[in-house]
Chains A and B, each alone.
Chain A
Amino acid sequence: MDLLNTSVATVESDSEPYTLVVLAGEADVTNSGALRELLDSEVDKQPRTLVIDLSELRFMDSSALHVILRANRTMDRQGGVLALASPRDPVAKMLRLTAADQLLPVYATVAEATAG
């Protein structure tokens, strides 16, 4: 999976540990299946907070967005929060145009996403 690189960590923080998923590269329909598997397996562990760091993501299409929205829905049901952090301009614009930024919180940094 070269176009999209992913990493997952459980981060200890002052308040509570959270799950941090880092996406790097380009997320599109050719790798949204793999992204879905990754998010599904993390969401299944029922974390209170799951943050997706988008700072290294150069491109995201609607199929990747749909995978994230699906994960958000499950997190909601489980009483957890899915947040996005530091999207680059093109990704931020896409989140705005689809109104996805109204459905789930988008923060400028991972630190802000996990504060409090």
Chain B
Amino acid sequence: MTGQERAAPSRRPDAPPPADALVSHTYRADLAKVRALVLQQARSAGLTEGRANDLVLAVSEVAANTLRHTKSSGTLAIWQARDEIVCEIQDEGTITDPLAGQRRPPADATGGHGLWLVHQVCDRVELRSDEAGTSIRMHMTIQPPGLSADGSATACD
């Protein structure tokens, strides 16, 4: 494997979460706390309740993988950048499938729906993984009030 290019997810981002991130939280088994932090920040960023819950589901699925696939804790960071809210989960796990979560699992599969859901509900997902660990950034665009999720203006009374 030395010097060989592998079909693997791109390397982890060089840029760490911003120093003024709204949340930087280390978790192990308390996923309810992780979800509560995400919901709180998603609401205060102005996401609709539906999209806030989407982000909660996505982050919880990724954090669940920390529990399932690693023996160490993970880190949740949340920040806002221009018109979006970003949640990042970092842990020591390694994802070797570059297309993880991008193919729909059969409905009756009793595994593999987690990352699929992440890709379905988030506006953008960045997955980077190498031997040292994995970071997954989940982005949700913050819509200005009066715009619907598809960007069109909502009808006014």
Contact at A70–B117, with CB atoms within 8 Å?
A: no
Contact at A61–B53, with CB atoms within 8 Å?
A: no
Shortest Cβ distance from A15 into chain B, in angstroms?
28
Shortest Cβ distance from B121 into chain A, in angstroms?
7
Q: How many A-B residue pairs have CB under 8 A?
A: 67
Smallest CB-CB separation from B66: which chain A residue? A29
Task: Kindly state whether residue B17 has any CB partner on chain A within 8 Å.
Answer: no
Q: Select A61's contact among B61, B108, B116, B120, beta carbons within 8 Å.
A: B61
Residues of B near A107 (CB, < 8 A) are none
Contact at A66–B117, with CB atoms within 8 Å?
A: no
Task: Kindly state whether residue B100 has any CB partner on chain A within 8 Å.
Answer: no
B55-81 contacts to A, CB under 8 A, are 56-57, 60-61, 64, 67-68
Residues of B near A3 (CB, < 8 A) are 32
Residues of B near A102 (CB, < 8 A) are 107
Contact at A62–B113, with CB atoms within 8 Å?
A: yes
Smallest CB-CB separation from A100: which chain B residue? B107
B36-60 contacts to A, CB under 8 A, are 50, 53-54, 56-57, 60
Contact at A98–B31, with CB atoms within 8 Å?
A: no
Known A73-B108, A99-B107; contact A89-B53, beta-carbon cutoff 8 A: yes
Contact at A97–B32, with CB atoms within 8 Å?
A: no
Question: How far is A30 from B107 in the complex, measured between Cα atoms in Å?
Answer: 23
Contact at B121–A103, with CB atoms within 8 Å?
A: no
Known A90-B57, A98-B107; contact A61-B121, beta-carbon cutoff 8 A: no
Contact at A26–B114, with CB atoms within 8 Å?
A: no
Task: Kindly state whether residue A42 has any CB partner on chain B within 8 Å.
Answer: no
Contact at A69–B60, with CB atoms within 8 Å?
A: no
Residues of B near A62 (CB, < 8 A) are 61, 64, 113-114, 117
Task: Kindly state whether residue A94 has any CB partner on chain B within 8 Å.
Answer: yes
Given contacts A26-B32, A65-B113, A73-B110, 13 further A-B contacts (CB under 8 A): A28-B31, A29-B67, A29-B68, A62-B114, A63-B64, A63-B68, A69-B110, A70-B110, A89-B50, A93-B54, A97-B120, A98-B116, A99-B104
> Which A residues have a C-beta under 8 Å from some C-beta of B?
3, 26, 28-30, 59, 61-63, 65-66, 69-70, 73, 89-90, 93-94, 97-100, 102-103
